[in-house]
Structure 1
Amino acid sequence: MRFENLHDNTQKWIRAAVNEGHPAEAIIYTLHTDGHPQDINEAVYQYLQEIYPREQSPLIPDQLRSTESTRFAYDKEVQVLLTLDQPHVILFGDFLSSEECDQIVADSKPKLRPSTVINAVSGSYDTDNQIRTSYGSSFKRKENDLVKRVEKRISALTGCPEKHAEPIQILNYAPGAEYKPHMDYFDPKFSGNANVLAMGGQRYATLIMYLNDVDVGGSTVFPKIGLDILPRKGCALYFAYANQNGWLDHRTLHGGSPVISGEKWIATKWMRFDKYTGPLA
């Protein structure tokens, strides 16, 4: 659905809300609670992206706007394999060496536990086998020389200060394991997200690092934009979805498709607007 296909009264209401300065997410939420169909979001976001100034778009550091095919990240050069503007997605090659990937996996194995999801209503960390069926572990900031090096590399590449990023999380998916499509940001309209938002503000971007080649399956899927990223050892996937004005880009809905054969290992770094003060900081 496109904006111009919406009912005339709906178009007029949206234009008036924009002129009054209401943020994008508030407009979307009001339309949804008034009974409008979910697919209206696509049309509204298309319109808002066109008329809002740049500062209303997700935060994208200047170095990530570069059109160069390679970027320097602290101690090595990485390749740009794919870029997408709306939403902002970049796939980097050779972000981690094969040896670094193997070491991260080896260090994580003894610490694996069933993965949890944050309950947006209660704020608790729950194990939900209907949504997420992976095992995970994490590293404290600067836990060892490898973690220190990777954190500096992430900061240099993305522009996110190290203290604003959450500790590196490791996920392991066995055959059949998956993570159903979800958002990485915390929707403030759910009261249960207040505690995690207090730990450093909103998340604005994610970096997923692929630690092995998966035999079959295990891709990172973005169903709203038809994007499917196959896991390749050493690559890293960056995507942005928020800004400090409250813009939250629903098109970054993403998930980990089921692993069909072999297993999948990834490392994830979530970036916040303020200093992260939560667990393992």
Structure 2
Amino acid sequence: MQSNKLVMITLDGCRYDTAVEELGFLGHLVEKGQAARYQVLSELPSNSRPMYQVLLTGTPPYKSGIVSNLSVRLSGQESLFHRVREAGGVTAAAAYYWVSELYQHAPFSFQKDRIQHNSELPIQHGIFYFEDQYPDSHVFAEANYLLENYQPDFLYIHSMNIDDTGHKFTADSKEYRAAVDKADLILAECLPAWIRAGYQVIVTSDHGMDEFGHHGGTRTGVRQVPLFIISDKVVPQIVEEQIPELMVAPLACHLMNIESTRDMERLEFPGLRTSSESI
């Protein structure tokens, strides 16, 4: 029987080519026919807060009004969290505090908003960090706590160390590659148990990083990001066709068997299995 539960992971600042070369565990799953790999073209501007909004609502910045990292306010669009909660599901997130500011409270209170449990909010169970160097290992440990204790139908995980390292050392550095490799080690420890627990998995990024330690513009290294999918609803393969980042949110709705929002574009995604093809 197919699962509708989903873990969605954003490795902030992880560019496509480095992901292909350094995410060895995910590459192993692709090689053995357990996962699919796609290349995604991020929206513009290729900065974090606007791209979080793109990934979680499927709306471009000019429509959402979340146009820069300085857009500190609640989103005006329905997110994946809203849709899952409205469908009667449970939502959770272990993420950077900007995610809380988009869908929970704005501005974020470091004293009050780090841990949130409220069934009336879009993210019903949330653990939010507020320092870019906060260890990815801690973020995934907190995500595992949420998964084991609340069995969410949608769990969003957002880690920051790859982006933080890229800004400090650039995408051409051994430090940046090491940060991507460390994320892979964490994924290798977490994903098998989550898959056994019945979760589908999406691993992607908001934007990439360039050789100057920057992102935000139009250069290839900052716009091309990875998308790995582990799901019975998607054919395990490498797809060379570039996917618009606006397709990630409607894809997540499809995997969770919930209706897309009216702001999302129609899902056009290669490799989706039909009901008769499902395994």
TM-score, normalised to structure 2, is 0.28
Which structure carries more helix by proportion?
2
Which structure carries more strand by proportion?
1
Larger radius of gyration: 1
TM-score, normalised to structure 1, is 0.28
